[in-house]
């Protein structure tokens, strides 16, 4: 019985691995194709879409309603993402799931998106979005969906690419 459970667990792990690999490949191909496009999008038309799990799990600030509710304590990357939004004039927002994220993307002011999430969410978003998406895979040092992190340099590179200010070390956001 134990053996069977172990075997099933192994098969599940392998399948999960394949799904993640496929999603990561979709993300990388998407970003690679965008590397060769010359974007020139106004910052105020760029949405930086963040997952709820990037917020420190003990923080009670309602950053889904308004990311500017962040108090800037620095316990999670939200502080830096808000600062980056102010620095470049892009609009960061937090979504609690794919449906809310898509509703943000479909708002008329949005012309392009920098999306931060896990591989699976990014793949779904890339397929669902009618607008260009540059995707940044999050970090999950505490496992999925809790206290996740993000490479801020990659978010910055993606923003610069959409604005049309490519840097010498060209963005490879994923
Ligand atoms: S940086 Fe902002 S969102 Fe993150 S824990 Fe502090 S107040 Fe909360």
State residue 9's pLDDT score.
63
Does the structure show a pLDDT above 70 at 1? Answer: no
Nearest CA to ligand 1 atom 4: 76
On whether the pTM is more than 0.85, the answer is yes
The residue to mutate among 52, 63, 67, 152, having the most atoms of ligand 1 within 8 angstroms of its beta carbon, is 63
Pocket of ligand 1 (CB under 6 A): 55-56, 59, 61, 63, 70-76, 78-79
State residue 168's pLDDT score.
42
Domain boundaries, the chain: 2-163
State residue 17's pLDDT score.
75
- Which atom from ligand 1 is nearest to the alpha carbon of 76? 4
Could you write out the three-class secondary structure of the chain? CHHHHHHHHHHHHHHHHHHHHHHHHHHHHHHHHHHCCCCCCCHHHEEEEEEHHHCCCCCCCCCCCCHHHCCCCCCCCHHHHHHHHHHHCCEEEEECCHHHHHHHHCCCCCCEEEEEECHHHHHHHHHHCCCCEEEEECECECECCCCCECCHHHHHHHHHHHHCCCCCCCCCCC
Does the structure show a pLDDT above 70 at 13? Answer: no
């Amino acid at each position: 019985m134990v053996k069977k459970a172990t075997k099933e667990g192994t098969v599940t792990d392998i399948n999960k691995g394949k799904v993640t690999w496929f999603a990561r490949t979709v993300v990388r191909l998407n970003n690679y194709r965008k590397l060769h496009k010359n974007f020139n999008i106004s910052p105020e038309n760029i949405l930086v879409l963040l997952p709820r799990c990037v917020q420190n799990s003990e923080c009670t600030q309602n950053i889904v309603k308004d990311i500017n509710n962040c108090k800037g304590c620095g316990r999670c990357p939200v502080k830096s993402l808000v600062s980056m939004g102010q620095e470049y004039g892009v609009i960061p927002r937090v979504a609690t799931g794919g449906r809310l994220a898509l509703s943000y993307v479909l708002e008329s002011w949005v012309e392009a998106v920098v999306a931060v999430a896990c591989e699976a969410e990014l793949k779904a978003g890339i397929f669902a979005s009618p607008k260009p998406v540059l995707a940044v895979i999050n970090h999950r040092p505490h496992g999925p969906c809790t206290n996740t992190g993000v490479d801020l340099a990659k978010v910055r590179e993606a923003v610069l690419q959409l604005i049309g200010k490519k840097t010498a070390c060209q963005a490879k956001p994923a």
